[in-house]
Structure 1
Amino acid sequence: MARILALDYGTKRTGIAVTDAMQIIASGLTTVNTKELLTFLKDYTKQEQVELFLVGEPKQMDNTASQSEAYIVPFLAKLEKAFPNIPIKRVDERFTSKMAFQTMIDSGLNKKQRQNKALIDEISATIILQDYLHKL
């Protein structure tokens, strides 16, 4: 089986999580500068087989798209063009940043460690992916 890759897309950096080859476990992979994201994904897919991209879909509480969706849509077009054979699914990402922060607290990270926004993005991507796996 191929892996599933989840992206918590941001204008500055993007958190990335990936499944194991059996698609059972979601693990944080890394956080990359968003400007370098497509290059990173091209390099990664040369080394690992990816079956699906999950991209977080930020929504407001009333279920409407958030303002950051305006930045994600152009990225999705680039992603689809760069990887025409890998499907893209969107996943509601409401509360993932708050859950990631709580995960950091529960893990015993100190205040300085919890201020690491890159780690929050990576954990958020992992939560998006784990939530998707639970619904399969």
Structure 2
Amino acid sequence: MPRILAIDYGFKRTGIAVTDELQIIASGLTTIPSETAISFLTDYFAKENVSKVLIGEPKQMNGQPSESAPIIEKFVTDFTNAFPTMKVERVDERFSSKMAFQTMIDSGLKKKQRQNKALLDEIAATIMLQDYLTRKMI
């Protein structure tokens, strides 16, 4: 079975998570500089069978797009141009960074380790993907 990949795209960094081949468990894959996202994904898709990509959709509490929405919309356009046959699903990413930070605290990471923004982005993508998998199973 092909994998599902989740992208937490940001202005500087992009967190990426992926499922196992049975689409049961989400795991952090990596965090990359955002400007390298398309080339990284080109290489990854050449090596791995991916059926769907989830891309975070940033929203404010009232449901309106957040200030980072235009940056992410441009990435979505670039992504669909680069990979026209790949299924893309937008998912609400509200609270994913806060939940990722809380996960870092709960797992016992020291304050210095919690300041690692790259790890935070990777965990946020993983939370987004695991939430999607959980909703899909219900």
Q: Hey, what does 2:80 align to over in structure 1?
A: 80
1:104: how far off? 0.4
Q: Hey, what does 1:127 align to over in structure 2?
A: 127
Cα displacement string for residues 66-102 of structure 1 (whole angstroms, at most 9, x for unaligned residues): 0100101111111001111111101000011110000
Please, what is the CA RMSD of the aligned residues?
0.5
Work out the CA distance in 2 between the residues paired with 1:125 and 1:54. Answer: 9
Normalising by structure 1, report the TM-score. 0.99
The residue identity in structure 2 corresponding to 1:7 is I
Q: Hey, what does 2:89 align to over in structure 1?
A: 89
The residue identity in structure 2 corresponding to 1:53 is V
1:47: how far off? 0.3
Structure 2 counterparts to residues 1-136 of structure 1, below 5 A:
1-136=1-136
**Structure 1: runs of 5 or more not aligned:** none
List 4+ stretches of structure 1 deviating above 4 A.
Answer: none
Work out the CA distance in 2 between the residues paired with 1:115 and 1:54. Answer: 26
Name the SS of the counterpart of 1:51 in structure 2.
strand
Name the SS of the counterpart of 1:18 in structure 2.
strand
The residue identity in structure 2 corresponding to 1:17 is A
Work out the CA distance in 2 between the residues paired with 1:85 and 1:120. Answer: 30
Cα displacement string for residues 41-74 of structure 1 (whole angstroms, at most 9, x for unaligned residues): 0000000011001001110000000010010111
Q: State how many pairs are aligned.
A: 136
Identical positions, percent = 62
The residue identity in structure 1 corresponding to 2:51 is E
